Homo-oligomer: A and B are copies of this chain.
């Protein structure tokens, strides 16, 4: 079984790259599917699960949580329960023993015993902002400044969660097999090139 994990900077096109690589290679593809599965199993709203997991493990519950807010009980599921469910689902994906690509969710860390091929996807800030503007829904137009702020916050949380889970650094060259800067690439052509690269890796194993 070949597992490819894709970690990425927000706005870099990592998700599209992962999806297209899966099509190219005929691999199963997991991304939002994991969020959906957690939400279904725990009877939670998908958006809530996504938001909770996208915050870092340290910051999801402010210390004053219980005193300051009155929220429906369902929201009170501790984040480590969500992380636990996520780990279970990712382990089940690996146990299915089918070639697959998993985008995000720290799958590279969680599945390290399975020796996945780990890709990190980045891009120049300008290219990421442009991408976010192009892809925004008509009702979610944000200023460039707001996009930059969101981008930094999301990436910071991704970095922090990874550090808590693994002790190794998010986006650092020592933590991955391949780091790709998507700036200047057509993602379709890049997916073909990267799929070929990853296939070479597995054929040498």
- Residues of A bordering B, CB below 8 Å: 120, 122, 124, 171, 173-174, 176-181, 183-186, 189-190, 192-194, 196-197, 200-201, 203-204
A140 shortest CB reach to chain B, Å? 27
A179: contacting residue among B178, B189, B196, B204, CB under 8 A:
B178
A21 shortest CB reach to chain B, Å? 13
Please give, as numbers and ranges, the residues of chain B lying within 8 Å of A194 by CB-CB distance.
Answer: 197
A179–B185 CB distance below 8 A = no
Instruction: Name the residue of chain B whose CB is nearest to the CB of A175.
Output: B181
Please give, as numbers and ranges, the residues of chain B lying within 8 Å of A183 by CB-CB distance.
Answer: 177
List of 7 A-B pairs having minimum Cβ-Cβ separation, nearest first:
A179-B179, A193-B200, A193-B197, A122-B173, A173-B179, A189-B204, A177-B181
Please give, as numbers and ranges, the residues of chain B lying within 8 Å of A196 by CB-CB distance.
Answer: 193, 196-197
What separation, in Å, do the CA atoms of A27 and B184 have in the docked complex? 22
Please give, as numbers and ranges, the residues of chain B lying within 8 Å of A192 by CB-CB distance.
Answer: 200
13 pairs from A and B in contact (CB 8 Å cutoff)? A120-B173, A122-B174, A173-B173, A173-B179, A173-B181, A174-B181, A176-B181, A178-B179, A178-B181, A185-B204, A190-B200, A193-B201, A194-B197
Instruction: Name the residue of chain B whose CB is nearest to the CB of A193.
Output: B200
What separation, in Å, do the CA atoms of A183 and B124 have in the docked complex? 26
Instruction: Name the residue of chain B whose CB is nearest to the CB of A189.
Output: B204
What separation, in Å, do the CA atoms of A12 and B83 have in the docked complex? 36
Most chain B CB within a 10 A radius of its CB, from A171, A189, A200, A201: A200
What separation, in Å, do the CA atoms of A197 and B193 have in the docked complex? 5
A189 shortest CB reach to chain B, Å? 5
A173–B171 CB distance below 8 A = yes
B197–A185 CB distance below 8 A = no
Instruction: Name the residue of chain B whose CB is nearest to the CB of A190.
Output: B200
